[in-house]
Amino acid sequence: MGQGNTSASYTVVPNGSVTTPKGFKAAGLHCGLKKTTRHDLGAIVCDVPAAAAGVYTTNAFQAAPIAVTRESIGAGGKLRAVIVNSGNANACTGKQGEADAYEMRSAFASAVGIPAEQVAVASTGVIGELLKMDRVRGGIAELPARLGDSYQAADDFCQAILTTDLVKKEVCVSVTVDGRTVHIAGASKGSGMIHPNMATMLGFVTTDAAIGSETLHKLLRQVTDLTFNMITVDGDTSTNDMLVAMASGLAGNEELTEAHADLAAFAEGLRYVCEVLAKAIARDGEGATKLVEVQVRGAENDLSAQAIAKTVIGSSLVKSAVFGADANWGRIIAAVGRAGVPVNPETVDIALGDIVTLAQSRPVAFDEDAALEYLKGDTVVIHVDLHMGEGAATAWGCDLTYDYVRINAAYRT
Amino acid sequence: MGQGNTSASYTVVPNGSVTTPKGFKAAGLHCGLKKTTRHDLGAIVCDVPAAAAGVYTTNAFQAAPIAVTRESIGAGGKLRAVIVNSGNANACTGKQGEADAYEMRSAFASAVGIPAEQVAVASTGVIGELLKMDRVRGGIAELPARLGDSYQAADDFCQAILTTDLVKKEVCVSVTVDGRTVHIAGASKGSGMIHPNMATMLGFVTTDAAIGSETLHKLLRQVTDLTFNMITVDGDTSTNDMLVAMASGLAGNEELTEAHADLAAFAEGLRYVCEVLAKAIARDGEGATKLVEVQVRGAENDLSAQAIAKTVIGSSLVKSAVFGADANWGRIIAAVGRAGVPVNPETVDIALGDIVTLAQSRPVAFDEDAALEYLKGDTVVIHVDLHMGEGAATAWGCDLTYDYVRINAAYRT
């Protein structure tokens, strides 16, 4: 994954994966939590204690694994491993759910011979049902033998974290730090219940850079606000969202700090990894037929631009129109107008790709056939220019389709 | 419309309409703005200058008729008439759109021989296209001869304001004020682009009560917050939303003021009229197969309860699950948790009708067949009790269906 983009800061690594950075192994298998034979249990293990950081859902109801992972990372800022299951979110499962999350942690720690407090736990799937722990235990017993740094091992992990996703999501870049090659890789899942603030999203970033956990946490939060928090599929935010980053330090660079000359390059590589994963989630939104990108500029400030971009990308009417390849810019301006931030009603431009439909808030005659062709493509970019200031933001989402309704009308059955 | 409900304060008037209150006539006809032969131009006229109040969209882009109506009501708090077209919103239409809205006002005023500044103008339909004024002029010329106080005349008006609505929406109650019978009636439209803050909604309330425009405005705002602003179909808020109330005073009561002993009864009748119209809009949401009602109680305060009720009713995942008759309460609690107001994650009860699915935040075993039967009904009530305080609120919406997508994927074509 990754479009072969390369900037001065980073280079995309073809077939790179979470095991490309030095020190990381991965595995995935089917233990029986999903009804199909798809993988549903996976792990990433680091050869050394990795500096670690996490970003979590803001939902008031946080699943049991969130608390366990917070505790692990909070204990010393280091992780040796993450253990992840799909098919069951272990959310709203009470004391038993907490006990099960702790047992996942301790059982996997024992299985690979590392301290339990250096293991993160993540779960995704249906809310409110207890984990079938006999199956989880069986899977955990099998995982260590499968751990490897091959592309296949990483692929097994990527598959194991998916739920309604149609495709796996992974990317890897290299960045030069102190003249050494540093890798940054990521894997994620998410398809429904996706919205700013991370939704049913799980994300895992590995890097062999040497970087302290506090610096890593700060970068991770900044980058999340520009990437994972700018995607929406349906406006829902889940109880289980989690993004965990681990840095092995095995690339041998001087530790990246605020003062390090190459921190900006590392940050840019991390942003690219997270943007690719976030866009992949949006494109793979439940029922989606295309990726929609909303670029807002000319807003009073970046926060205003973000609010507008998120409102447009989240509009069911805009999403339905894009699905129908209908150049209905009236719905776009209606969404801009209800974003709750200042706009000048007389100075708005709207374009679909290169096709200008509104200039200075007045309709522009455009080629409907060209618009139809453009909207039928697999990526649609909506441009909004407010002509008020320098604020800019980009948000990603997808169209609203019959399949979204079909998938969500009977998820449990 | 109205379910025959009657409280101590008001009595539903069978077959009541906007022409039931004394002094009001209505009409509607097809002038050619809609592609079908459905009515698309209508008017309500009062025999005397009626005390008037309006509540408008909060969208930053406000359609031309909004400004004209604000100006009319602002001029002296009196209206003799409203002229309404459907099929074209006259929004984002620039100077020509403004001129057209003013021309609608002056042309209709001339046609019925009343001052232009006592005429309100409302439009609903597609955004960004100029009104075909030749057709509007032709229709306005025909309207006066059709004005009447019959049920048929009111029906013509109700039909003329619809767009994607499947059914007309009207209700009338009587209230006793000073021992006299006062009528309060209403008609509304709205189906898509519906959300708190009034959306593509138009609403018209007539009453023969004697009440000042300031008191009427205050009541109208209070009632709107509990009714029209608590419905959502798709989270979108339009550029044209407008609710206008006119009071002829011909019932002969002492003017209703804050000090009047019967003001509470009048307010209760007004609330009922607006609630019936709001629920009718939600039930008739684009593609909807059922009405969904979310009742929240036990919140810290009413505002918190409103935020939670609106978040649950607006969740695409909840709406899809209701369409699929899937008792997926996990999506309900996930929506409660992201409403942005304080909740105690350990004390939440959720029920679908009488079927308790979550108690004190823990899943309760329930009869799936009974839940399926309940969710297949034409009205679904979701109860959420936070057990934190006395705050309560009710919101209304509908399910998310294949037809919603179909309707909105190709509205313009």
How far apart are the C-alpha atoms of A276 and A398, rounded to whole Å?
A: 15
The reply to whether A163 sits in an annotated binding site is yes
Q: What is the pLDDT of residue B237?
A: 64
- Contact residues for A246 (Cβ-Cβ < 8 A; gap 6+): A24, A44, A46, A50, A51, A52, A79, A82, A204, A205, A206, A207
Q: Which of residues 191-210 of A touch B (CB under 8 A)?
A: 192-193, 195, 197
- Chain B nearest-CA distance from A400, in A, is 7
- Chain B nearest-CA distance from A150, in A, is 37
Indicate the range of B56-60, B143-147, B240-244, B259-263 predicted with least confidence. Answer: B56-60
Q: What are the b/e assignments for A70-103, b being 16+ CB within 10 Å?
A: ebbbeeebbbbbbbbbbbbbbbbbeeebbebbbb
The reply to whether B408 sits in an annotated binding site is yes
Compare CB distances from B334 to A193, A363, A404 and report the shortest one's residue. A193
How far apart are the C-alpha atoms of B319 and B313, rounded to whole Å?
A: 7
- Contact residues for B79 (Cβ-Cβ < 8 A; gap 6+): B46, B49, B50, B52, B72, B73, B118, B119, B120, B244, B246
Domain ranges of chain B: 16-281, 291-409
Q: What is the pLDDT of residue B410?
A: 65
Q: What are the b/e assignments for B73-107, b being 16+ CB within 10 Å?
A: beeebbbbbbbbbbbbbbbbbeeebbebbbbbbbb
Structure tokens at A144: 């260590």
Rg (Cα) of chain B, in Å, rounded? 21
User: B336, A60: Cβ pair inside 8 Å?
Assistant: yes
Q: Does any CB of chain A come closer than 8 Å to the CB of residue B127?
A: yes
- Contact residues for A174 (Cβ-Cβ < 8 A; gap 6+): A10, A11, A13, A16, A181, A182, A183, A184, A269
How far apart are the C-alpha atoms of A394 and A305, rounded to whole Å?
A: 8
The 3-class SS string of B189-242 reads ECCCCCCCCCCCCEEEEEECCCECHHHHHHHHHHHHHHCHHHECCCCCCCCCCE
Q: Does any CB of chain A come closer than 8 Å to the CB of residue B404?
A: yes
Q: Which residues of B are catalytic?
A: 200
Cα separations (Å) of B234 from B77, B202, B227, B389, B394?
33, 16, 16, 30, 17
The residue written with tokens 């108690």 in the block is B359
Q: Does any CB of chain A come closer than 8 Å to the CB of residue B166?
A: no
Around Cβ A387, how many Cβ atoms within 10 Å? 15
Note if A206 is an active site residue: no
Cα separations (Å) of A90 from A38, A45, A99, A376?
19, 22, 10, 39
The reply to whether A200 sits in an annotated binding site is yes
CA angle A213, A219, A220 (to 5 degrees): 85
Q: Does any CB of chain B come closer than 8 Å to the CB of residue A359?
A: no
Q: What is the pLDDT of residue B224?
A: 92
User: B333, A92: Cβ pair inside 8 Å?
Assistant: yes
How far apart are the C-alpha atoms of B313 and A236, rounded to whole Å?
A: 12
How far apart are the C-alpha atoms of B377 and A322, rounded to whole Å?
A: 32
User: B406, A402: Cβ pair inside 8 Å?
Assistant: yes
> CA B354, B358, B359, B363 torsion: positive or negative?
positive
Dihedral angle at the C-alpha atoms of B145, B151, B152, B154, nearest 10 degrees? 70
How far apart are the C-alpha atoms of B116 and B120, rounded to whole Å?
A: 9
The reply to whether B275 sits in an annotated binding site is no
Are A230 and A196 a contacting pair, CB within 8 Å?
yes
Compare CB distances from A362 to B94, B335, B401 and report the shortest one's residue. B94
User: A316, B412: Cβ pair inside 8 Å?
Assistant: no
User: A92, B363: Cβ pair inside 8 Å?
Assistant: yes
Q: What is the pLDDT of residue A257?
A: 96
Phi first, then psi, for residue B202 (nearest 5°) are -120, 140
CATH number of A291-409: 3.10.20.340
Are A98 and A67 a contacting pair, CB within 8 Å?
yes
Flag whether pLDDT at B363 surpasses 60: yes
Q: Does domain A10-281 have CATH number 3.60.70.12?
A: yes
Are B171 and B1 a contacting pair, CB within 8 Å?
yes
User: A91, B330: Cβ pair inside 8 Å?
Assistant: yes
Phi first, then psi, for residue B37 (nearest 5°) are -95, 15
The reply to whether B215 sits in an annotated binding site is no
User: B316, A58: Cβ pair inside 8 Å?
Assistant: no
**β-strands B355-359, B242-247 pairing:** unpaired
Q: What is the pLDDT of residue A395?
A: 94
How far apart are the C-alpha atoms of A366 and A326, rounded to whole Å?
A: 13
| B-chain residues near A336 (CB < 8 A) | 60-61
Q: Which of residues 18-57 of B touch A (CB under 8 A)?
A: none
Q: Does any CB of chain B come closer than 8 Å to the CB of residue A126?
A: yes
Q: Does any CB of chain A come closer than 8 Å to the CB of residue B317?
A: yes
How far apart are the C-alpha atoms of A169 and A188, rounded to whole Å?
A: 5
Share of chain B above pLDDT 90, in %: 72
User: B334, A238: Cβ pair inside 8 Å?
Assistant: yes
The number of C-beta contacts closer than 8 angstroms across A and B is 196
User: B197, A410: Cβ pair inside 8 Å?
Assistant: no
Compare CB distances from B334 to A93, A94, A239 and report the shortest one's residue. A239
Q: Does any CB of chain B come closer than 8 Å to the CB of residue A59?
A: yes
Smallest CA-to-CA distance from B114 within B159, B153, B70, B147 is with B147
For residue B234, name the pLDDT band (cuts at 50, 70, 90): low
| B-chain residues near A315 (CB < 8 A) | 234-236
pLDDT in tens, B36-50: 899 999 999 999 999
Amino acid present at B168 = K
- Chain A nearest-CA distance from B175, in A, is 37
Q: Does any CB of chain A come closer than 8 Å to the CB of residue B87?
A: no
- Chain B nearest-CA distance from A81, in A, is 28
Phi first, then psi, for residue A55 (nearest 5°) are -125, 135
Q: Which residue ranges in chain A fall short of pLDDT 70?
A: 1-7, 192-199, 233-237, 410-413
Indicate the range of A239-243, B75-79, B271-275 predicted with least confidence. Answer: A239-243
pLDDT in tens, B110-134: 999 999 999 999 999 888 889 999 9
| A-chain residues near B362 (CB < 8 A) | 92, 94
How far apart are the C-alpha atoms of B172 and B206, rounded to whole Å?
A: 9
Q: What is the pLDDT of residue A410?
A: 65
The reply to whether B286 sits in an annotated binding site is yes
Flag whether pLDDT at B154 surpasses 60: yes
Cα separations (Å) of A17 from A144, A169, A171, A343?
19, 10, 6, 43
Structure tokens at A327: 């150049």
Flag whether pLDDT at B5 surpasses 80: no
Indicate the range of A59-68, B140-149, B250-259 predicted with least confidence. Answer: A59-68
| A-chain residues near B61 (CB < 8 A) | 333-334, 336-337, 343, 345, 361
How far apart are the C-alpha atoms of A193 and A200, rounded to whole Å?
A: 6
| B-chain residues near A365 (CB < 8 A) | none
User: A197, B338: Cβ pair inside 8 Å?
Assistant: yes
> CA B312, B317, B320, B326 torsion: positive or negative?
negative
User: B59, A334: Cβ pair inside 8 Å?
Assistant: yes
Are B100 and B64 a contacting pair, CB within 8 Å?
yes
Flag whether pLDDT at B185 surpasses 50: yes
The 3-class SS string of chain B reads CCCCCECCCEEECCCCCCCCCCCEEEEEECCCCCCCCCCCEEEEEEEEEEEEEEEECCCCCCCHHHHHHHHHHHHHCEEEEEEEEEEECCCCCHHHHHHHHHHHHHHHHHHHCCCHHHEEEEEEEECCCCCCHHHHHHHHHHHHHHCECCHHHHHHHHHHCCCCCCCCEEEEEEEEECCEEEEEEEEEECCCCCCCCCCCCEEEEEECCCECHHHHHHHHHHHHHHCHHHECCCCCCCCCCEEEEEECCCCCCCCECCCCCCHHHHHHHHHHHHHHHHHHHHHCCCCCCCEEEEEEEEECCHHHHHHHHHHHHHCHHHHHHHHCCCCCHHHHHHHHHCCCCCCCCCCCEEEECCEEEEECCEECCCCHHHHHHHHCCCEEEEEEECCCCCEEEEEEEECCCHHHHHHHHCCCC
User: Measured in whole angstroms, how far is the alpha carbon of residue A314 from the centre of its chain?
Assistant: 17
How far apart are the C-alpha atoms of A165 and A190, rounded to whole Å?
A: 6
User: A345, B412: Cβ pair inside 8 Å?
Assistant: no
pLDDT in tens, B188-219: 998 765 443 333 789 999 999 999 999 999 99
How far apart are the C-alpha atoms of B2 and B119, rounded to whole Å?
A: 29
Rg (Cα) of chain A, in Å, rounded? 21
pLDDT in tens, A11-61: 999 999 999 999 999 999 999 999 889 999 999 999 999 999 999 988 888
Structurally, what CATH architecture does the domain formed by B16-281 represent? 4-Layer Sandwich (3.60)
Phi first, then psi, for residue B29 (nearest 5°) are -160, 170
- Contact residues for B134 (Cβ-Cβ < 8 A; gap 6+): none
